[in-house]
């Protein structure tokens, strides 16, 4: 939960680096919340809650994705690969899954050296 809240606190922070754990925990929590809201929306017969939530987390999702790419030494512009449907998504998932660069890189200091959330 702390990873999710930390990403929301950095609402539009596109600089710096994000660990794999931060990125994937945020993604997992987003999926869980989206499923719950989809169920609620189906009961009320509208898609209002899911739509509002999706819009609310759009910028934080992009920001954590860019910071995750920074951790692997790639520019945030690589996120545009997602526009190329299947091949773009596959490449992005591979980038999101690989380990980040050890030590400092041009995007910031190594997030693994910072205190972790337990």
| Per-residue pLDDT tens over the stretch 62-88 | 999 999 999 999 999 999 988 887 888
pLDDT score recorded for residue 115: 63
The number of distinct structural domains making up the chain is 1
Tell me whether residue 24 is in a domain: yes
Q: What confidence tier does 1 reach under pLDDT thresholds 50, 70, 90?
A: confident
- The parent domain of residue 17 ranges over 2-111
Letter string b/e over residues 46-60, b meaning 16 or more CB atoms within 10 A of that residue's CB: eeebbeebeeebeeb
Burial 3-41 (b: 16+ CB within 10 A, else e): bbebbbebeeeeeebbbbebbbbbbebbeebeeebeeeb
Average pLDDT of the chain is 90
Q: Is residue 116 part of a domain?
A: no
Q: What would the mean pLDDT of 15-37 be, rounded to a whole number?
A: 94
């Amino acid at each position: 939960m702390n990873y999710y809240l930390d990403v929301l606190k950095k609402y539009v922070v596109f600089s710096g680096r994000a660990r794999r754990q931060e990125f994937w925990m945020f993604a997992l929590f987003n999926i869980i919340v989206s499923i719950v809201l989809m169920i609620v929306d189906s009961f009320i017969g509208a898609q209002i809650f899911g739509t509002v939530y999706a819009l609310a987390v759009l910028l934080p999702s992009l920001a954590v994705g860019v910071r995750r790419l920074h951790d692997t030494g790639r520019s945030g512009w690589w996120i545009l690969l997602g526009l190329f449907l299947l091949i773009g998504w596959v490449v992005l998932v591979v980038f999101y899954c690989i380990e980040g660069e050890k030590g400092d890189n041009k995007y910031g200091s190594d997030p693994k050296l910072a205190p972790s959330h337990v």
